[in-house]
Amino acid sequence: MTRYALVRALCAMILLIAPGIALSQAFPNRTIRILVHATPGAQPDAVARIVAKHMSSSLGQPIVIENITGGTGVPAINALLASRPDGYTLIVLDAGHWAINPAARSDLRYDPEKSFTPVSMITTSSLFLAVHSSVPANNLAELVALIRKQPGMYNYGSAGIGTVHHLTVEFFKQALGLDIVHIPFRGSSQSVPALVAGQVQMAVAALTVLAQFEKAGRVKILGANTAERSALAPEIPSMATVAPNLDFPGQVALLGPAGMPREAVNKLAQAVDEAVKGEDVIAALKIAGVEPAPSRGPDALAKRMRDDRAKYGSLIKSLGVKLE
């Protein structure tokens, strides 16, 4: 090879790798957008805003929150997938989007395995099983014994078919061979008032929703729907103490479209990690009813997504749940 040809080859190689070098040095150099499928003030929105403020400081760029609601998150996901995979458009999602909907719906236009780049889990939270104050059970063991004595006599209200609230109790029923009647509502805003009024005997809901009614003596909170006790209510046992392997946490995770550069992913994940370690952030998240996820980063989130697809897929198939 002549000297001239060698120089041309080296120049070509430099041009090929230059964009990657520039990205790792420059990202981020403009405003980042985080899409939220929920309305302003809802838990995913609150988490995104709390964490984005601190991520913005560490990344040195503004982060704006854009709410695209409705359609069980599909419009927000479509907006994400229409964006360039450069790290400047992100989204907060949960297991409903990467595990439940894909298992229960046939009309989705995204692939939960191939459409996203995992960045990091942000928060986790427990939902809690509560019973009406008239139910003669003060702990999980007493509740199980009561239902076994009177199969089909007790019912529970859920936030809707295919929700984590619904699937939590169905797993509980399957694991213990219990006969409990399901009454679906449209959200916890309907199921919890029905519980408080005694129209249903049981329901699963967030602690922030149930606490006031427990304090007033209207309901009794018996268990958390996560494998471990919640740090927000450590005195309440896990439902897994009577139904092994029960673990259906609420989640808020940060993802991007498929094909994001690893350098951008790593910087964003680091910013999330730094944010949720701050005492002020932890305090704000606690008020929102969530806590920092114990395992963060792209690899941990990718594993969680795989595990959730297997867990929810199996349960949904056994129940024959179809969402259209």
CATH number at residue 301: 3.40.190.150
Residues 133 and 224 in one domain: yes
Tokens 């399957």 belong to: 174
Query: Which pLDDT score is estimated for 7?
Result: 41
pLDDT at 201: 98
Q: Is residue 26 part of a domain?
A: no
What is the average pLDDT score of the chain?
Answer: 93
Whole-angstrom CA distances from 189 to 220, 250, 296 are 18, 17, 31
Question: Do 220 and 82 share a domain, yes or no?
Answer: no
Predicted local confidence at residue 6, as pLDDT: 45
* Residue 80 within any structural domain of the chain: yes
Q: What is the pLDDT at residue 324? A: 75
Picking from 207, 241, 275, the residue at the C-terminal end of a domain is 241
Backbone dihedral angles phi then psi of residue 37, each to the nearest 5 degrees: -80, -10
Residue 213 and residue 134 in one domain: yes
- Whether residue 313 sits in one domain with residue 164: no
The domain boundary, picked from 241, 269, 289, lies at: 241
List the beta bridge partners of residue 190: none
SS3 121: strand
**Same domain, residue pair 49 and 153:** no
pTM above 0.85, yes or no: yes
Whether residues 102 and 156 fall in one domain: no
134, 118: one domain: no
Low-confidence residues in the chain, pLDDT < 70: 1-25
Residues 6+ apart with CB under 8 A from 69: 37, 38, 39, 75, 76
Same structural domain, 106 and 200:
no
Go through the chain and tell me how many residues it has.
324
CATH code where residue 148 lies: 3.40.190.10
Q: Is residue 72 located within the same domain as residue 215?
A: no
Q: Tell me: do 100 and 143 sit in the same domain.
A: no
**What is the DSSP secondary structure assignment for residue 238, as one 8-state letter?**
B
Residue 35 maps to a domain = yes
- Render pLDDT for 103-125 as a digit per residue (tens, 0 to 9): 999 989 999 999 999 999 999 99
On whether the CB atoms of residues 236 and 221 are closer than 8 A, the answer is yes
- Spell 66-100 as b/e; 16+ CB within 10 A means b: ebbeeebbbebbebbbeeebbbbbbbbbbbbbbbb
Beta strands in the chain (DSSP E): 32-36, 63-67, 89-93, 116-125, 127-132, 155-158, 181-184, 202-206, 219-224, 250-257, 291-292
Give pLDDT, residue 71: 87
* Residue % of the chain over a pLDDT of 70: 92
Q: Residue 26's pLDDT is what?
A: 86
Task: Give the helix/strand (H/E) hosting 170.
Answer: helix 164-176
| DSSP string of 206-230, one letter each residue | EHHHHHHHHHTTSEEEEEESSSS--
- Same structural domain for residues 132 and 237? yes
The reply to whether 1 falls in a domain is: no
Q: Which residue range(s) make up the domain with 208?
A: 127-241
Q: Looking at residue 17, what is its pLDDT?
A: 52
Model pLDDT, residue 13: 53
Which spans in 197-297 are helix H?
Answer: 207-215, 262-276, 279-287
Q: Does 233 lie in the same domain as 131?
A: yes
pLDDT digits (tens, 9 = 90+) for 16-69: 554 444 444 589 999 999 999 999 999 999 999 999 999 999 999 999 999 999
- Which of residues 178, 207, 241 is at a domain's end? 241
